[in-house]
Chain A
Amino acid sequence: MQPEKFYYDNKIVRNFGIATVIWGIIGMTVGLIAAIQLYSPGMNMGNQYTTFGRIRPLHTNAVIFAFVGNAIFMGVYYSLQRLLKARMFSDLLSSIHFWGWQLIIVSAVITLPLGLTTSHEYAELEWPIDIAITIIWVVFGINMFGTIFKRRERHLYVAIWFYIATFVTIAVLHIVNSFELPVSAFKSYMVYAGVQDALVQWWYGHNAVAFFLTTPYLGMMYYFLPKMANRPIYSYKLSILHFWALIFIYIWAGPHHLLYTTLPGWAQSLGIAFSIMLIAPSWGGMINGLLTLRGAWDKVRDDVILKFMVVGLTAYGMATFEGPMLSLKQVNAIGHFTDWIIAHVHVGALGWNGFLTFAILYWLIPRIYKTELYSKKMASFHFWIGTLGILFYAVPMYWAGFTQGLMLKEFTPDGILKYPNFLESTLRIIPMHVMRSVGGTFYLLGVIVMAYNLVRTAMQGKLVANEAAQALPLAPLPKAAKDGTWHRTLERKPIQLMIAALIVILIGTFVELMPTLTISSNIPTIAAVKPYTPLELQGRDIYIREGCSNCHSQTVRPFRSETERYGEYSKAGEFVYDHPFLWGSKRTGPDLAREGGKYGNAWHYNHLMDPRLMSPGSIMPNYDWLLTQTLDTTTTIAKINAMRKLGVPYAPGYERIANSDLDKQAKEIAANLYTDHIKIKNDKEVIAIIAYLQRLGTDIKANKTANK
């Protein structure tokens, strides 16, 4: 048989590489601006489009889907072709994939600052973009499987198992978490409400970390590390075990994001139990990576690329040990809602995803440009400043997390909170927030140096757009052929492998989601809980638009420190009309689940205009545009109709009188503000958000008085 000649497509790899670097710098810069706003709110530059609540999602989306996303495609397109000894299935699909993905990111960069958001973390993009993501993801899948089908290599290497699992699971996660009912071109309501919506979101959120930030990177690690170190993979058996164990167990762990909420206890416990079981499978990847370097440690001393890999793998090991520890409810009680979580995710993101990406870029760009890296010194500088950046970032954030977590739980002997004012804890950790932005600056500086280094590298070489290669075509399999093991057989059957992976991830999905989504007794209803009035509904949408839930949670956990601080702990039945849920995941400010009636309307008005008037030292930005912008009431009818479709019991025909109800309530609030010498027209947005804030958590209070 004659070897066939063919060409690897390096241009698409290069394109994804460029996108990775550019979006990386943008995403991290936005992160830095957001971080600085946490001690100097004026850094929002006085306008709504660059205020924390709107750019925090921009930061997370940019670094996850733009930086890491493009890096994944870069790594996959490079390694897949070589592992399969075939060019990508279709250059056209590659190109559609590339430009489609960039377009999606650009649309995110436009819509998120405009406040167009679903409020689901890491899934903020509105429904038209969700559809675009689905289409582009399918394009990627066709391109990948097309390449697999025309391969010249009988068996699929472990890296490709990870790529397949990534593809199929992200597809499932994205589709299920995007069940939204469109209200208008850029507004939708989540189909699920309250605790069900929370479960779906964190099943998604957790597994986006698993299958977007972890599995594709493990796949890339399995290709690039042995290449970089020129060493064989330590253990094939360990690869098999940890691959299947990882994808099976990971999918169950989502509920650990919802400990001490109204999620049923059995679901919480399952989340904890599976999180603990996740330690070994996660470490399997790290061990296999580090032991692959056995006999090559002398190279690590000189080779900056391997240094990046080692720190990256170590950061992965630390983060995947810390994660299970944080999911133990006793630890979670202190760590959740604090900067501890921010530290945790950044060890993973900066260390594991960032450093692996940098290593791959440093390794791959000189190769496709047929040259040497422009400056090893600069790369070395990048390594050290990056590592220092991670330390300067993580250590202060751990410190801040412990400090705040413990301060908020402390009582005096007379049984009252030692720090009843949440703000005291915020002010205490401001120095730590300053430190972390210094760490972030270091890290970003390293990336900029890398960008320069890579540009110079590209300039001194010439892109080999089509790299020649040859391999024997696959001969038909002889009938008597034996693979040795069942897994070896599976490795040459891509479709079966994909289906097996799909089944494995669907088990945990069904066991956890189905009972909560279908059995109504899991969410006891409360008669006193009524749908929002039209004005409150509009106010709620402003709350979503401004991204308030990025800093304020809306769920009181059953702890003495929380019921004393905020009021009665939250009940599942209180959230049945919350499409979407707004529990949040971080308390930069206090919880708002029982905010209604705590302060007067005038307090809220002044506080939104300039928080420092009512809470001296507050780091909340001014929301003065709410005072001047007029509430758009043309959407009320569509919103009421959409909510009714989702099961919220608005009377038939209510949409027709909704706006007159809205006016009436707005006038009452404006009149009440007038008694405190605040002159504001009743059609301003601030009236709606005050109405919403004053409603929060009051249904149960009303119930209590009624019972008395």
Chain B
Amino acid sequence: MKYHRILFLIPFILLIQPGMAVADNLIPDDLQNEIAYWIIIGMLLLFVVAMLVLLKTFKVLARVVLKSQGYTEEQIAAEMAPVKKVKKPKAEVWNKLLSLRPLAEEKELLIAHDYDGIQELDNPIPAWFSYLFYATIIFAVGYILNYHVFHFGQLQYEEYNTEMAQADISKKAYLSKAANRVDENTVKLDAEPGVVAAGQVIFKQNCVPCHGDHAQGVVGPNLTDDYWLHGGKISDVFKTIKYGVQAKGMPTWEKQLSPKQISDVANYIKSLHGTNPAGAKEAQGEKETDDAAKATKKA
């Protein structure tokens, strides 16, 4: 019995494991889920195996016990073999459900006519088929009434407005937490390695095709020199990323990156100042004495 208890406990322990691991985020969430998933599957399989083993054991035990009580082999076999139940005529149930008439009565139903040897039966339309048809008609009428007469249901543009309003509420609630609320006026220069590293990841994912893997400039400008087309202050860089510069082909990132992410990638860009990457694009824009140098010094 106590083995059973342990067996029952294991999955619980495994289930709460990911919850406990949240505090120290050494293993990424996805991986944790993956691990948990396979452990659960593995446990379930183990249960099945255990049950099969138990079943077999019971059978063997029963045989031993019966033998010790003086049963003969035949008696044991008779005892063990389950009595076969008499099969209920399934077909009849089906026939009722599908409102079918027994095949034996088919002759009465034949229509006295054939087409190239094909005959037809005069079976009624199955009742359940008619009910299905009526039900769909009622649904269809109800659907039109719902959306176009009583206006209980929302049509697409109302639906859209509702969806946007709800999203707005939850977004505001989320952003009311201070850390998430960064904009071009509040963004601060930050040379923290964590921030720069996070920014680098975002840069690699989104910016490399146009600005190059070392920000040396490809289609877009070089981001490591002293020259800036739209301002080189952290707030300017933030703004350029957030709103884009359509005329120059810089996309808007406001809808793709969160304010925090924009701030990270802006800081990453600022951290690249003066790195002089190979194959740097020529200078574009105004020369600016920027604040990156000071920040580096401070750090």
Check A83/B116 contact, CB under 8 A, given A414-B175, A560-B164. yes
Whether B180 lies near A238 (C-beta < 8 A) is: no
- Asked whether B232 is an interface residue with its Cβ less than 8 Å from the other chain, the reply is no
CA distance A157 to B120 in the complex (A): 10
Pairs A-B, 4 closest by C-beta atoms: A600-B249, A415-B171, A420-B256, A280-B133
**What are 30 A-B interface contacts by the 8 Å CB criterion?**
A83-B115, A157-B115, A226-B118, A226-B119, A232-B106, A232-B120, A235-B120, A237-B123, A269-B143, A272-B143, A273-B139, A273-B141, A276-B139, A277-B139, A279-B136, A280-B133, A280-B136, A291-B98, A291-B123, A411-B167, A414-B258, A415-B175, A560-B160, A564-B255, A569-B160, A597-B246, A598-B246, A614-B209, A614-B210, A676-B219
Check A414/B251 contact, CB under 8 A, given A232-B110, A233-B121. no
Whether A416 lies near B117 (C-beta < 8 A) is: no
CA distance A298 to B110 in the complex (A): 22
Whether B121 lies near A234 (C-beta < 8 A) is: yes
User: Can you name 12 extra interface pairs (CB under 8 A) apart from A155-B113, A155-B115, A277-B140?
Assistant: A235-B122, A235-B123, A236-B111, A238-B125, A276-B139, A276-B140, A277-B133, A277-B137, A279-B132, A414-B260, A416-B257, A599-B251
- Asked whether A241 is an interface residue with its Cβ less than 8 Å from the other chain, the reply is yes
Whether A414 lies near B180 (C-beta < 8 A) is: yes
Interface centre among B100, B118, B174, B251, by most chain A C-beta atoms within 10 angstroms, is B118
- Asked whether A5 is an interface residue with its Cβ less than 8 Å from the other chain, the reply is no
CA distance A455 to B295 in the complex (A): 81
Closest Cβ of chain B: how far from A324's Cβ, in Å?
Answer: 8
Whether B125 lies near A235 (C-beta < 8 A) is: yes
Whether A82 lies near B246 (C-beta < 8 A) is: no
Residue in A closest to B163 when the chains form the complex, CB atoms: A560
Whether A277 lies near B136 (C-beta < 8 A) is: yes
Check A274/B140 contact, CB under 8 A, given A232-B110, A283-B129, A613-B209. yes
CA distance A414 to B173 in the complex (A): 9
Whether B156 lies near A558 (C-beta < 8 A) is: yes
Residue in A closest to B142 when the chains form the complex, CB atoms: A273
Residue in B closest to A259 when the chains form the complex, CB atoms: B156
CA distance A79 to B100 in the complex (A): 29
Whether B249 lies near A603 (C-beta < 8 A) is: yes
Whether A238 lies near B120 (C-beta < 8 A) is: no
- Asked whether B152 is an interface residue with its Cβ less than 8 Å from the other chain, the reply is no
CA distance A415 to B255 in the complex (A): 9
In the complex, chain A residues whose CB is within 8 Å of the CB of B174: 413-415
- Asked whether A699 is an interface residue with its Cβ less than 8 Å from the other chain, the reply is no
Closest Cβ of chain A: how far from B81's Cβ, in Å?
Answer: 29
In the complex, chain B residues whose CB is within 8 Å of the CB of A411: 167
Check A416/B255 contact, CB under 8 A, given A235-B121, A276-B139. yes
How many inter-chain residue pairs (CB < 8 Å) link A and B? Answer: 169
- Asked whether A153 is an interface residue with its Cβ less than 8 Å from the other chain, the reply is yes
Q: Which of B137, B156, B170, B219 makes the CB contact (< 8 A) with A603? A: B219
- Asked whether A707 is an interface residue with its Cβ less than 8 Å from the other chain, the reply is no
Proximity string of chain B (196-227) to chain A, C-beta cutoff 8 Å, 1 when within and 0 when not: 00000000011011100000000100000000
Proximity string of chain A (574-608) to chain B, C-beta cutoff 8 Å, 1 when within and 0 when not: 00000000000000000000000111111100100
Whether B125 lies near A223 (C-beta < 8 A) is: no
Whether B117 lies near A234 (C-beta < 8 A) is: no
- Asked whether B89 is an interface residue with its Cβ less than 8 Å from the other chain, the reply is no
In the complex, chain A residues whose CB is within 8 Å of the CB of B259: 414
A396-425 contacts to B, CB under 8 A, are 411-417, 420-421
In the complex, chain A residues whose CB is within 8 Å of the CB of B148: 265-266, 269
Check A236/B120 contact, CB under 8 A, given A272-B143, A295-B103, A412-B258. yes
In the complex, chain A residues whose CB is within 8 Å of the CB of B285: none
In the complex, chain A residues whose CB is within 8 Å of the CB of B180: 414
In the complex, chain A residues whose CB is within 8 Å of the CB of B106: 232, 295
- Asked whether A260 is an interface residue with its Cβ less than 8 Å from the other chain, the reply is yes
In the complex, chain A residues whose CB is within 8 Å of the CB of B137: 277
Q: Which of B119, B163, B258 makes the CB contact (< 8 A) with A232? A: B119
Whether B117 lies near A237 (C-beta < 8 A) is: no
Binding site for B on A (CB under 8 A): 79, 82-83, 85, 153, 155, 157, 223, 226-227, 232-239, 241, 245, 260, 265-266, 268-270, 272-274, 276-281, 283-284, 287, 291, 294-295, 329, 411-417, 420-421, 557-560, 563-565, 569, 597-603, 606, 613-616, 676
Check A233/B133 contact, CB under 8 A, given A294-B100, A420-B257. no
In the complex, chain A residues whose CB is within 8 Å of the CB of B117: 227
- Asked whether B147 is an interface residue with its Cβ less than 8 Å from the other chain, the reply is yes
- Asked whether B12 is an interface residue with its Cβ less than 8 Å from the other chain, the reply is no
- Asked whether B124 is an interface residue with its Cβ less than 8 Å from the other chain, the reply is yes
CA distance A232 to B164 in the complex (A): 58
Residue in A closest to B255 when the chains form the complex, CB atoms: A564
In the complex, chain A residues whose CB is within 8 Å of the CB of B121: 232-236
Residue in B closest to A275 when the chains form the complex, CB atoms: B140
Check A276/B246 contact, CB under 8 A, given A232-B119, A283-B129, A598-B251. no
Whether A559 lies near B160 (C-beta < 8 A) is: yes
Interface centre among A417, A603, A615, by most chain B C-beta atoms within 10 angstroms, is A603
- Asked whether B144 is an interface residue with its Cβ less than 8 Å from the other chain, the reply is yes
- Asked whether B2 is an interface residue with its Cβ less than 8 Å from the other chain, the reply is no
Residue in A closest to B281 when the chains form the complex, CB atoms: A677
CA distance A260 to B157 in the complex (A): 9
Closest Cβ of chain A: how far from B264's Cβ, in Å?
Answer: 13
In the complex, chain A residues whose CB is within 8 Å of the CB of B208: 616
Q: Which of B160, B219, B258 makes the CB contact (< 8 A) with A558? A: B160
Q: Which of B110, B116, B132, B144 makes the CB contact (< 8 A) with A283? A: B132
Closest Cβ of chain A: how far from B107's Cβ, in Å?
Answer: 10
Residue in B closest to A235 when the chains form the complex, CB atoms: B123
- Asked whether B279 is an interface residue with its Cβ less than 8 Å from the other chain, the reply is no
Whether B249 lies near A599 (C-beta < 8 A) is: yes
- Asked whether B159 is an interface residue with its Cβ less than 8 Å from the other chain, the reply is yes
Residue in B closest to A156 when the chains form the complex, CB atoms: B115
In the complex, chain B residues whose CB is within 8 Å of the CB of A600: 219, 248-250
Residue in B closest to A231 when the chains form the complex, CB atoms: B119
Q: Which of A82, A155, A272, A414 makes the CB contact (< 8 A) with B171? A: A414
Whether B147 lies near A265 (C-beta < 8 A) is: yes
- Asked whether B155 is an interface residue with its Cβ less than 8 Å from the other chain, the reply is yes
Proximity string of chain B (78-114) to chain A, C-beta cutoff 8 Å, 1 when within and 0 when not: 0000000000000000000010100100100011010
CA distance A68 to B134 in the complex (A): 33
In the complex, chain B residues whose CB is within 8 Å of the CB of A294: 100, 103
CA distance A270 to B147 in the complex (A): 11
In the complex, chain A residues whose CB is within 8 Å of the CB of B120: 232-233, 235-236, 239
In the complex, chain A residues whose CB is within 8 Å of the CB of B115: 83, 153, 155, 157
Check A415/B129 contact, CB under 8 A, given A269-B143, A597-B246. no
Residue in B closest to A238 when the chains form the complex, CB atoms: B125
CA distance A433 to B133 in the complex (A): 37
- Asked whether B42 is an interface residue with its Cβ less than 8 Å from the other chain, the reply is no
Whether B249 lies near A601 (C-beta < 8 A) is: yes
Closest Cβ of chain A: how far from B280's Cβ, in Å?
Answer: 14
- Asked whether B126 is an interface residue with its Cβ less than 8 Å from the other chain, the reply is yes
B135-187 contacts to A, CB under 8 A, are 136-137, 139-141, 143-144, 147-148, 155-157, 159-160, 163-164, 167, 170-171, 174-175, 180
Closest Cβ of chain B: how far from A153's Cβ, in Å?
Answer: 7
Whether B124 lies near A235 (C-beta < 8 A) is: yes
Whether A602 lies near B219 (C-beta < 8 A) is: yes
Closest Cβ of chain B: how far from A79's Cβ, in Å?
Answer: 8
In the complex, chain A residues whose CB is within 8 Å of the CB of B118: 157, 223, 226-227, 232-233
Residue in B closest to A413 when the chains form the complex, CB atoms: B174
Residue in B closest to A82 when the chains form the complex, CB atoms: B116
B232-259 contacts to A, CB under 8 A, are 246, 248-252, 255-259
CA distance A272 to B137 in the complex (A): 12
Whether B157 lies near A558 (C-beta < 8 A) is: yes
CA distance A284 to B126 in the complex (A): 10
Residue in B closest to A412 when the chains form the complex, CB atoms: B258
In the complex, chain B residues whose CB is within 8 Å of the CB of A676: 219
Closest Cβ of chain B: how far from A431's Cβ, in Å?
Answer: 16
Closest Cβ of chain B: how far from A192's Cβ, in Å?
Answer: 22
Whether A560 lies near B129 (C-beta < 8 A) is: no
